[in-house]
């Protein structure tokens, strides 16, 4: 291909030389294995909570993306990824509960962001009320697994935890139903108007959750629902077989970790399949030019509602998991800021891109739950030791500011996101020379360039 | 046999009558032009035929079925497809993907089949890729198939629009100014392509066109609109010398002074 020649003609920078060297023969395998071994060892040898471990956890998650992008065979990627996520992380989680909670949350938000990505990234429908579907799922399980249910159906006992499994599926269906329900009134709207109306509809759900405590107490209003049921555990025998005794709390932690990982994997699978089908192409066409799309025979109403339903269904399921994980939910959890947060994950990672969205979710969650609070506590420790830091300065208070700055910087220097969808990168940088032609049906640009050089 | 019969079509936007009682009959296998000065209501008429606008009055019979008031996607599924005056490609999609989108109504994979990746879906995808490349070869764009549509030169974009419209396997194709903005050589190629649509693929063609050389060489019948009303209809030679048409294009004086030919 002609574009490859252009790359060869350019004087190779040190970085490209390094990349080429690391991308040849057995080198990537050795490098990645060494990286994985070092990070795993660091995690398992010193599982204390602190700034050092924070950094190692970040390196661990970064490793996932290095594996994803590495020029190695798929089987190697899958095996190593599975070992790291299914063995190293859980063992570390047993040793130190803090981080696995963060990773679980990150996984949960990644699935939510992927759902929103279907609506915003694929179909181009800017939805600012997405958290509503998450709320619907959470309240669904919250009501049915607590005495709240007896207020609605008199005499009905709270459902036993084992119903949780079924409710994962019901949450999916109810989420999809609400997706269609809130999608119907906004079908004719585009762009800014759509954003405003979805924002309003999202708030309606939250306000309903706050006010549906009378005349019949359905949601328990602003107090929220507590003591939400959890599924019965069954993985204990596995640990006993290895002679490990763990507490129920630890076991639940692992349980939810694996559950979230499983749902996330399923979400990735579904979203990927849809994106590479006639449905995904129809969504992209609608995003690009609605009028041309209908003229080409795409049923606009059905495709838009499908996007809303698919996006909302993941949120519904994740809501069920979230309420069981937290055992407590209240309306402020599902406010506008949460919708914006999920949207910023999609934007940060790269709209329309599946790996980008996951990366965005992981980064935002880490910043929110781990890194910014950690910096705050480290500064507080310095302050106690007499370092003159003004008392009013508390980085935890500036989380939103820092986050906003990060997004602004992103929009200036990399508006397409960290790991953009190939076509969107070209869309935003179409004045620059392109690396190589792209398509869903051809190899990614990086790969073909490497094969031309190597 | 008439493939398309538009009877007494009127389209009003509030107080403005954009198309006024226009009838058009298109025989299967013919090439028909709709011409007229700017603002004559040609594109509005196309939008009514393809379901983007619903006619205020009138009926449209296509292939023996009444399609008045159907949605655009239903009309496309029945076999009418179109191109746009100002090219409307899916810019951020590749050339190949643009054609695949055009195939939407001819593919049948449902949500669950796609999720489970059934053999039928995979076979359908393979077949549709094959068909898309065939269409791209037909308009001579196969070598560009992995380019983004936005990066194609203008003439190629026009041809891609035609390929995308062909992907829906239409019986009737409506071309809205297919040679607008082209140089003489490109215009000649486009004219040739339009003829091949009918001769090789057996598709009936209706085109809106301003270039009179194109109109006069390829149309079998011509309909002339002015201010939303049909002012003439007939063979190219008849239209060429019709005083009302000359008047519409060049003004009353020109018609009176015996200008005989309308040239683009």
ipTM for the predicted complex: 0.90
Q: Which residues contact residue B256 at a Cβ distance below 8 angstroms, ignoring those fewer than 6 apart?
A: none
Residue A91: what pLDDT?
Answer: 86
Indicate yes or no: CB of A294 within 8 angstroms of CB of B52.
yes
The closest CB to that of B77, out of A284, A297, A424, belongs to: A297
- Count of alpha carbons within 13 angstroms of residue A177, beta-carbon side: 9
Any chain B CB within 8 A of the CB of A187?
A: no
Residues A430 and B150 sit within 8 Å (Cβ to Cβ)? yes
Query: Omega of the bond prior to B67 within 30 degrees of 0, cis?
Result: no
Q: For residue B118, give the chain A residue with the closest CA.
A: A273
Indicate yes or no: CB of A295 within 8 angstroms of CB of B72.
yes
What are the two backbone dihedrals, phi and then psi, of residue B61, each rounded to the nearest 5 degrees? -110, 125
List CB contacts (< 8 A) between B111 and chain A. Answer: 274, 279, 306
Please count the helices (runs of H) and the strands (runs of E) in chain A.
22, 0
Query: For tokens 């935003």, what's the residue?
Result: A428
Question: H-helix or E-strand containing A102?
Answer: helix A97-117
Contacts A–B by Cβ distance under 8 A: 123
From the list B86, B63, B81, B263, the residue with the least C-alpha distance to B169 is B81
> pLDDT averaged over consecutive 10-residue blocks of chain A (454 residues)?
44 68 76 90 84 87 87 88 90 86 94 96 93 96 91 85 93 96 88 90 92 87 91 78 78 91 94 93 94 94 95 96 94 91 91 91 87 78 79 70 84 86 61 44 39 36
Q: What DSSP character marks residue A329?
A: B
Closest approach of A2 to chain B, Cα-based (Å)? 12
Mutate to test the interface with A, among B109, B148, B162, B174 (most CBs of A within 10 A): B148
Residue A435: what pLDDT?
Answer: 44
The closest CB to that of B147, out of A270, A437, A440, belongs to: A437
Q: Which residues of B touch A (CB under 8 A)?
A: 50, 52, 71-73, 76-77, 81-82, 84, 88-94, 96-97, 100-105, 107, 109, 111, 114-115, 117, 121, 125, 129, 145-148, 150-151, 164-165, 167-168
Query: For tokens 């191109």, what's the residue?
Result: B83
Closest approach of B82 to chain A, Cα-based (Å)? 7
Residue A452: what pLDDT?
Answer: 38
Indicate yes or no: CB of B73 within 8 angstroms of CB of A441.
no
Residue A406: what pLDDT?
Answer: 82
What are the two backbone dihedrals, phi and then psi, of residue A395, each rounded to the nearest 5 degrees? -55, -30
Q: Whole-angstrom Cα distance, residue B78 to residue B65?
A: 9
Indicate yes or no: CB of A278 within 8 angstroms of CB of B109.
yes
Region B121-134: what's the mean pLDDT?
94
Q: For residue B121, give the chain A residue with the closest CA.
A: A277
Residue A447: what pLDDT?
Answer: 38
Q: Which residues contact residue A440 at a Cβ distance below 8 angstroms, ignoring those fewer than 6 apart?
A: A275, A276, B94, B97
Residue A424: what pLDDT?
Answer: 56
Is B193's pLDDT higher than 70? yes
Pair type for strands B172-176 and B57-62 = unpaired
Residue B152: what pLDDT?
Answer: 93
The closest CB to that of A292, out of B90, B109, B111, belongs to: B90
Any chain B CB within 8 A of the CB of A446?
A: no
Q: Which two tokens stand for residue A306?
A: 């499908």
Residue A161: what pLDDT?
Answer: 86
The closest CB to that of B92, out of A291, A298, A424, belongs to: A424
Closest approach of B156 to chain A, Cα-based (Å)? 17
Closest approach of B146 to chain A, Cα-based (Å)? 6
Any chain B CB within 8 A of the CB of A57?
A: no
Residue A434: what pLDDT?
Answer: 43
From the list A59, A55, A58, the residue with the least C-alpha distance to A36 is A59
């Amino acid at each position: 291909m002609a574009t490859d020649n252009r790359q060869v003609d350019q004087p190779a920078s040190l970085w490209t030389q390094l990349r080429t060297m690391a991308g040849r023969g057995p080198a990537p395998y050795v490098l990645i294995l060494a990286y994985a071994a070092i990070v795993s060892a660091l995690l398992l040898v010193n599982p204390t909570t602190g700034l050092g471990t924070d950094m190692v956890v970040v390196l661990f998650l970064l490793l996932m993306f290095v594996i994803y992008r590495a020029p190695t065979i798929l089987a190697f990627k899958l095996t190593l990824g599975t070992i790291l996520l299914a063995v190293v992380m859980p063992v570390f989680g047993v040793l130190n509960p803090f981080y696995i909670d963060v990773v679980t949350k990150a996984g949960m938000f990644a699935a939510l962001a992927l759902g929103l990505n279907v609506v915003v990234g694929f179909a181009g429908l800017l939805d600012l009320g997405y958290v509503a579907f998450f709320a619907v799922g959470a309240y669904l399980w919250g009501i049915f697994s607590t005495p709240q249910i007896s207020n609605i159906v008199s005499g009905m006992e709270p459902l036993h935890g084992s119903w949780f499994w079924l409710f994962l599926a019901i949450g999916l269906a109810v989420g999809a139903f609400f997706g269609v329900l809130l999608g119907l009134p906004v079908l004719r709207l585009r762009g800014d108007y759509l954003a405003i109306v979805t924002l309003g509809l999202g708030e309606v759900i939250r306000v309903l959750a706050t006010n549906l405590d009378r005349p019949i107490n359905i949601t328990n209003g602003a107090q929220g629902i507590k003591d939400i049921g959890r599924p019965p555990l069954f993985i204990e025998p596995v640990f006993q077989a290895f002679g490990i005794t763990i507490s129920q709390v630890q076991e639940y932690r692992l349980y939810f970790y694996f559950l979230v990982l499983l749902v996330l994997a399923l979400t990735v699978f579904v979203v990927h399949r849809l994106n590479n089908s006639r449905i995904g192409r129809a969504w992209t066409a609608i995003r690009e030019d609605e009028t041309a799309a209908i003229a080409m025979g795409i049923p606009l109403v059905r495709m838009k509602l499908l996007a809303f339903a698919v996006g909302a269904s993941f949120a519904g399921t994740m809501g069920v998991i979230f309420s069981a994980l937290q055992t407590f939910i209240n309306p402020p959890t599902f406010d506008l800021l949460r919708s914006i947060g999920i949207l910023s994950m999609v934007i940060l990672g790269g709209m329309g891109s599946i790996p980008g969205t996951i990366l965005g979710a992981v980064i935002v969650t880490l910043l929110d739950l781990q890194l910014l609070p950690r910096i705050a506590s480290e500064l507080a420790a310095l302050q106690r030791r007499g370092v003159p830091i003004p008392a009013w300065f508390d980085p935890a208070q500036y989380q939103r500011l820092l986050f906003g700055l990060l997004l602004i910087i992103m929009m200036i220097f990399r508006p397409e996101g960290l790991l953009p969808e190939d076509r969107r990168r070209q869309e935003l940088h179409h004045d620059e020379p392109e690396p190589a032609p792209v398509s869903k049906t051809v190899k990614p640009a990086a790969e073909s360039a490497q094969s031309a050089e190597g | 046999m008439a493939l398309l019969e538009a009877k007494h079509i009127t389209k009003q936007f509030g107080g403005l009558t954009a198309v006024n009682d226009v009838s058009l009959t298109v025989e299967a296998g013919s090439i028909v032009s709709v011409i007229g000065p700017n603002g004559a209501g040609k594109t509005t008429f196309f939008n009514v035929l393809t379901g983007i606008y619903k006619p205020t009055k009138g009926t449209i019979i296509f292939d023996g079925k009444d399609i008045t008031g159907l949605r655009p996607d239903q009309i496309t599924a029945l076999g009418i497809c179109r191109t746009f005056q100002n090219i409307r490609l899916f810019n951020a999609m590749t050339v190949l993907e643009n054609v695949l989108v055009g195939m939407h109504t001819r593919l049948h994979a449902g949500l669950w089949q796609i999720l489970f990746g059934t053999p039928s879906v995979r076979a359908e995808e393979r077949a549709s890729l094959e068909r898309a490349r065939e269409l791209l070869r037909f308009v001579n764009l196969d070598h560009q198939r992995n380019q983004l549509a936005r990066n194609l030169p203008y003439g190629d974009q026009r041809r891609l629009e035609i390929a995308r419209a062909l992907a829906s396997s239409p019986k009737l194709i409506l071309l809205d100014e297919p040679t607008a903005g082209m140089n003489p050589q490109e215009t000649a190629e486009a004219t040739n392509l339009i003829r091949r649509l009918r001769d090789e693929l057996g598709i009936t063609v209706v085109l809106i066109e301003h270039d009179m050389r194109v109109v006069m060489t390829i149309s079998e019948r011509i309909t002339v609109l002015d201010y939303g009303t049909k002012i003439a209809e007939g063979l190219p030679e008849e239209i060429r010398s019709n005083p009302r048409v000359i008047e519409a294009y060049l003004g009353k004086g020109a018609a009176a002074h015996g200008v005989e030919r309308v040239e683009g």
